[in-house]
Amino acid sequence: MSPAATRGDQRRAALLEALDHHLRDAGRDARLEDINVADLSRRAGVTRSAFYFYFENKAAAVAALMDEMEDDAWDAAGLLGGEGVMRDRVAAAIRTVIEGWRRRTHVHLAMLEARATSAAVRERWESRTASFVEVVAALVESERAAGLAPAGPSATAVATALLDLNDRTLERLVRAPDDADWDPHVDAVVHLWTSAIYGRTTPS
């Protein structure tokens, strides 16, 4: 990698770090329209024009910051394909995602706004979700082929519905009070996942 490319990566990273700090400081009151690009750029130690070199707009910058949260989601996908009782794997996967979102509530709140206001960000989100649908659908198909899960709606339809459930759960999570008890809700989500795949609470 050339020195110029390295400097470019550092400037982009500095902008994302400044955005993360801004959103964290603003908390639940953060709004995209309130983000001042000049202030953000100054905080990152770059020019305002540099911001628009890396990001088309503020929504795109939020989406880029959200990419870092994909690590938790892919960790969860790996857990689904691991060893052990499926209910335990599903529970571990869901909790991994929720804990990741809980650590970055400020980013997810901003992403919800960006997704609602930017077609490009919405398309990016849907493309990312489609990748996870493929993982879950493959799992459902594998369990059916092994005789561990009954036939039913298409595996893709089941996977899409389950990820819609997760999406709504995460939206409720980031809007809930910090001291809310989420264990009962997560247990219910795990139950719904298991029941949707196996037609019963605990697969044999």
Q: How many Å is the maximal CA-CA distance in the chain?
A: 60
More confident residue, 189 or 9: 189
Nearest to 63 by CA among 121, 142, 20, 24: 121
Is there a contact between 150 and 199 (Cβ–Cβ < 8 Å)? yes
What phi, psi does 151 have (nearest 5°)? -65, 160
CA 91 to chain centre: 17
Vertex 182 angle, CA 80 and 102, to 5°: 70
pLDDT tens, 81-132? 777 887 788 888 888 888 888 888 888 889 999 999 999 889 988 998 898 8
Q: Is the pLDDT of residue 159 over 60?
A: yes
The one-letter amino acid code at 165 reads: L
User: What percent of the chain is modeled with pLDDT above 90?
Assistant: 42
155 contacts: CB under 8 Å, gap ≥ 6: 137, 138, 140, 141, 144
Mean pLDDT of the chain: 86
pLDDT tens, 16-36? 999 999 998 887 777 888 889
Q: At 7, is the pLDDT very low, low, confident or very high (cuts 50, 70, 90)?
A: low
Q: Is the pLDDT of residue 76 over 80?
A: no
